[in-house]
Amino acid sequence: MATFFPHAYFNIWSPQGKEAIFRGNVQGDQFEGVAQETGEYKVQVYMMRAQARRNETASYKLEIIVGHELP
């Protein structure tokens, strides 16, 4: 994810939705991986609570590529 706002992140949730398989605030702004199970994955874009409470906004670009195998 590309953004100029330092407190914008994204998470990726598994189809079962019980846990995030990627947490942007801990793991960074890029994710590469192979889906471990079939189903609908959810990508959640968010900002930290303090910034959200101040009604701050962030523009971002998120690129998702499906069907590409990793080496």
pLDDT confidence tier of residue 33, bands split at 50, 70 and 90:
confident
pTM > 0.85: no
Q: What is the pLDDT of residues 35-49, one digit of tens each?
A: 888 899 999 999 999
How many domains does one find in the chain?
Answer: 1
CB atoms within 10 A of CB 70: 6
What does the alpha-carbon distance between residue 11 and residue 42 come to, in Å, rounded to a whole number? 8
pLDDT for the residue numbered 68: 65
Q: What is the pLDDT of residue 70?
A: 61
Q: What is the mean pLDDT of residues 19-31?
A: 94
pLDDT at 65: 82
Alpha carbon distance 60, 10 (integer Å): 10
* Burial class of 65 by CB neighbour count within 10 A (0 to 12, 13 to 18, 19+): exposed
Confidence of residue 15 (pLDDT cuts 50, 70, 90): very high
Question: What are the structure tokens assigned to 60, written together?
Answer: 């971002």
Cα–Cα distance between 70 and 26 in angstroms, integer? 22
